[in-house]
A = this chain, B = another copy of it.
Amino acid sequence: MDSILKENIKKHIDLSEDEFKLFRSYFTKKKILKKEYLLREGDICKYEGFILNGCFRVFSLDKNANENTLHFGIKDWWLSDIDSFTNQIPSQLFIQALEDSEVLLISWNNKMKAYQELPKIERLFRVMTQKYLVANQRRILQKQSLNSEERYNYFLSHYPEIAKKLTNIQLASYLGISHEFVSKIRSRISTKK
């Protein structure tokens, strides 16, 4: 049951069956319906989530009320506003389900307990945070060095599972371009072939 969480952890560290059971006991399962929010701007992020199924979008609203997507999440990804969760301060982010989804949630207290009781969990999150940081650095460099069409192609080829769940509007808010321009890129690509 929930072996997907176990498999996810195994990608990063070794954990005995007992250790996993203890860690797993800190989570509760929750269903989240399409368009519902796991977190809103101003809220304190009380839980981190592991996605069992479904799809989420993490975004912020800028001064012109434009939505800017930080990232998406599907099965096997983690969800958090790290700053808000770690420091228990109000969030600047929204986390919204794009379809009916299920997540495993761990509260701040339980995560602190896990860090104390299971030193390997400290390592797990150190390693996962590093990997996510590397991905973010790559994204920063790509935003500087690739044009919109190249970033569009990169996203589609690296995250096809996610791409097929998204509207142009959602994808545009991740790529940092207008949704009209996504449309133009698409038609440009299809006439090329």
Contact = CB atoms under 8 A, between A and B. Distances in A.
A66 B142 CA distance: 12
Contacts of A122: 119, 122-123, 126
Interface in A105-121: 115, 119
Interface stretch (A35-43, A129-137, A163-171): A129-137
A15 interface: no
Nearest to A143: B143
A96 to B, nearest CB: 16
Contacts of A139: 140
B68 A130 contact: no
Contacts of A5: none
A192 interface: no
A144 interface: yes
A70 interface: yes
Interface of A: 60, 62-64, 66, 68, 70, 82-83, 86, 115, 119, 122-123, 125-127, 129-130, 132-134, 136-137, 139-141, 143-146, 173, 176
19 contacts: A60-B141, A62-B145, A62-B146, A64-B145, A66-B145, A68-B145, A70-B137, A82-B133, A83-B134, A86-B127, A119-B122, A126-B129, A129-B129, A129-B130, A132-B133, A136-B140, A139-B140, A140-B140, A144-B173
B143 A86 contact: no
A125 B62 CA distance: 31
A82 B128 CA distance: 12
Contacts of A137: 70, 82, 136
Contacts of A125: 126
Nearest to A83: B134
Nearest to A139: B140
Contacts of A83: 134
